[in-house]
Amino acid sequence: MINRYTRPAMGKIWELENKFSIWKEIEVLACEAQAELGQAGITKEEAAWIRAHADFTVAEIDEVEKVTNHDVIAFTTVMASYIDADVPEGQEKPSRWVHYGMTSSDLGDTALSYQITQAIDIILEDVKQLGETCKRRAFEFKESLCVGRTHGIHAEPMTFGMKFGSWAWALKRAQVRLEQAREVAATGAISGAVGTYSSIDPFVEQYVCEKLGLTPDPLSTQVLARDRHAQVMTALAVTASTLESIAMQVRLLQQSDVIEAEEPFTKGQKGSSAMPHKRNPITAERVCGLARVVKSNAQVALDNVALWYERDISHSGAERVALADSFTALDYMFGKMQWMLDGLNVYTNKSIHNLWRTKGLIFSSKVILALVDTGMTREDAYVIVQRNAMAVWDDIQQAVDGPTYRQRLEADPECPLTQETLDKIFDPWAFLTHKDVVFEKLETLEF
């Protein structure tokens, strides 16, 4: 991922320095396990020496790999040079125990699992922070009227707090998915060439995994099955889709013809090089754009599940890019969403203005029920309700300052509703008598 969209903590996880540091720890732990086991010949003193002296630099590994064309061999070669550098002349080299009985995937896949858990932990903290922000702001706007829209068309009254509340619940679902994906991903394998432990005792795998907080794969062939990684990537993709959905709503609410909410516009910010009046929803648009990257990378992970026999490396290059980019982009998206939603400008007066822009048409569902309550059939009631509604709609489209919906109903001789009944119908809060149920449920939400 380019630096523009990389936050430091997440970026460090996917740097080669971190990957090789994990590789080093796995190799050292494996040596310590072998010494603990007392079978391979390595002594605890040699294992302690290896831990004290094992080291590397990324630059050295890169140079060796130019010759070996094999990153694991380049790594173990460099690490061995550090381990053996201070060994007295004539003494056996402790580095001979590094990578003993292991294959490259034992090292690479187990390390990748650890990296994934590191990265998911950051995303989970992102989810928690944004979810708590949405919950807090939901209660901030619990009593703020606005119009609900279906198909982009005014439907019935709601409160703006319900928007934030729905976003909070969506983030909770994302949290659950990511926790499940973390559990599946937190798996290691040190089982040898085709997973048979032919040259290594299963104790080594158990020991290393326990130290890293991983669970040994029950049957790993040579690699960890990529359905695990696909589950992680699809969880990231669904989470990105959730952020995209929220950002899309902000973009819609910020349209000039709506302007019920607006992402922060900071001091000194410029909206357009040509039109100085512009305040564009650039942050929300950026989130929507990056969501496409994360979603498309999920397809890469799904394609990586099918490998030849016990292993090939068709998945390797693709997932090195896709995994790192998806985690990095999603973490960046969360940072922007946190900034945007925590500081989202909500224009409650404009929301109420918009609620009445259709001259009372949004009360049609209450009108038809009231007519049915008088004994009228629903079909006959629908004719009265729709006839008057379409007349108001035509006036709105023609920008004609005609009667409101209530005024037309009052003038309709076939409409038997009294003034008292119409007063009750045309009260927007009549739609929200049960809204406290929604917020009581939201009160129980914890991240």
Active-site positions read 151, 272
Q: Are 407 and 391 in contact (CB under 8 A)?
A: no
| DSSP type of residue 63 | H
Cβ atoms < 10 Å from Cβ of 303: 15
Q: Dump the DSSP string for 362-420.
A: GGHHHHHHHHHHTT--HHHHHHHHHHHHHHHHHHHHTT-----HHHHHHH-TT----HH
- Residue-wise over 6-25: b if at least 16 C-beta within 10 A, else e? beeebbebbeeebbbebbbb
Burial of 157 (0-12, 13-18, 19+ CB in 10 A): buried
Q: Are 171 and 195 in contact (CB under 8 A)?
A: no
Please state the φ and ψ torsions of residue 161, each to the nearest 5 degrees: -60, -30
What does the radius of gyration of the chain's CA atoms come to, in whole angstroms? 31
- The enclosing H or E element of 209 equals helix 202-212
**Of 179, 70, 65, 55, which is closest to residue 447 (Cα–Cα)?**
179
Burial of 215 (0-12, 13-18, 19+ CB in 10 A): middle
| DSSP type of residue 58 | H
Q: Are 177 and 235 in contact (CB under 8 A)?
A: yes
Q: At what angle do helices 227-253 and 282-303 cross, to 10 degrees?
A: 160
Cα 321 from Cα 303, distance rounded (Å): 14
Cα 435 from Cα 168, distance rounded (Å): 16
Residue with tokens 């294959």: 103
Cα 189 from Cα 214, distance rounded (Å): 9
Q: How far is CA 377 from CA 366, 406, 426, in A?
A: 15, 21, 22
187-188/215-216 β-pairing:
parallel
Cα 332 from Cα 327, distance rounded (Å): 9
